[in-house]
Amino acid sequence: MKLTHSRAVFLMILVTMMWSIAGVVTRHLESARSFEVTFWRSFFTVVSLLVILPFFQGRAVFSKIRNGGSAFWLSGVCWSVMFTAFMVALTLTTVANVLVTMAVSPFITALLARAFIGQKIPARTWLAIAMAGAGIAWMYGGQMDLSSHIGGTLVALMVPLASASNWTVVQHSRSHGKNVDLVPAVLLGAAISTLATLPLSLPFSATSHDVALLALLGLVQLAIPCVLSVMCAGVLKAPEVALLALLEVIFGILLAWFGADEVPGASVLTGGALVIGALVVNELVGWRQRA
């Protein structure tokens, strides 16, 4: 399918809407908890991608997995950490806390790229990183029961760390003439997550209602949007993708608010606004400078 710029923007907005349903769906689970939630979502993601990927890339997708190389496998491990940590974090703290913590991913990426592949960080990005840090501190400093959220926040922080590591590995590989196909890497990551969380999920406690909801997440919240986002990234510029991806935070908080009565506190809204504002300003200024 040939994407125009406007279609890619619309499709990316749709992708963020699909990503954002995880929090509200998780709040309607009956008995599945922690690693079992991750296992079922990852399992259904694998099943979905085994059908979707051959449709888009043909049987060659399986040879890409067999001959992927070390960077491809490292990318798969990063995806598996992201899938696992995200769902576990949602069972430990609020949807808003998880999504705002994940929003710092571009800044962690900039720091890792500076440390491992020598990319320079502009002054505007250093300022944005400081603003985002202040936003995170404000968000958690204003919560009365900090101990009940810190564990979930630390787990959620693994998502942007793994995402930044993934990007750094892919960029380093491409700079050495080796292209990493991210879509099969998603399948590999889901498979690793499924195998890693299976023994931690036993004995299963999920009801048929839970399994149906987690199957929905595996297909609609993960498999389909991951494929579509890679397609969009081939048309849209990196700042456009970064800015549009922030809609997941807004959609996710609103869905949890209205769909599960999970009302975000004032400090969460203020701190989250600082984090998102820092990212928006950083990306827009950088985009204008490049233009």
Query: pLDDT tens digits for 156-210?
Result: 999 989 988 888 887 777 777 777 777 788 899 999 999 999 999 988 999 999 9
Percent residues over pLDDT 90 in the chain: 31
Q: How far apart are CA 71 and CA 152, in angstroms?
A: 29
Q: What is the mean pLDDT of residues 275-280?
A: 82
Structure tokens at 73: 């496998």
Structure tokens at 71: 């960077």
pLDDT at 254 over 70: yes
Q: How far apart are CA 272 and CA 270, in angstroms?
A: 5
Residue 265 burial by Cβ neighbours in a 10 Å radius (0-12, 13-18, 19+): middle
**Residue 270: C-alpha distances to residues 159, 243, 276 (Å):** 22, 19, 10
Mean pLDDT across the chain, nearest whole number? 84
Query: pLDDT tens digits for 18-37?
Result: 999 999 999 999 988 889 99
Q: How far apart are CA 37 and CA 210, in angstroms?
A: 9
* pLDDT at residue 183, as a whole number: 79
Are the C-beta atoms of residues 246 and 280 closer than 8 Å to each other? Answer: yes
* pLDDT at residue 147, as a whole number: 56
pLDDT at 144 over 60: no
Query: pLDDT tens digits for 27-84?
Result: 999 988 889 999 999 999 999 999 888 877 777 777 777 777 788 889 899 999 999 9
3-state secondary structure the chain: CCCCHHHHHHHHHHHHHHHCHHHHHHCCCCCCCHHHHHHHHHHHHHHHHHHHHHHHHCCHHHHHHHCCHHHHHHHHHHHHHHHHHHHHHHCCCCHHHHHHHHCCHHHHHHHHHHHHCCCCCCHHHHHHHHHHHHHHHHHHHCCCCCHHHHHHHHHHHHHHHHHHHHHHHHHHHHHCCCCCCHHHHHHHHHHHHHHHHHHHHCCCCCCHHHHHHHHHHHHHHHHHHHHHHHHHHCCCCHHHHHHHHCHHHHHHHHHHHHHHCCCCCHHHHHHHHHHHHHHHHHHHHHHHHHC
Q: What is the mean pLDDT of residues 111-126?
A: 79
The CB density around residue 186, as the number of other CB atoms within 10 Å, is: 26
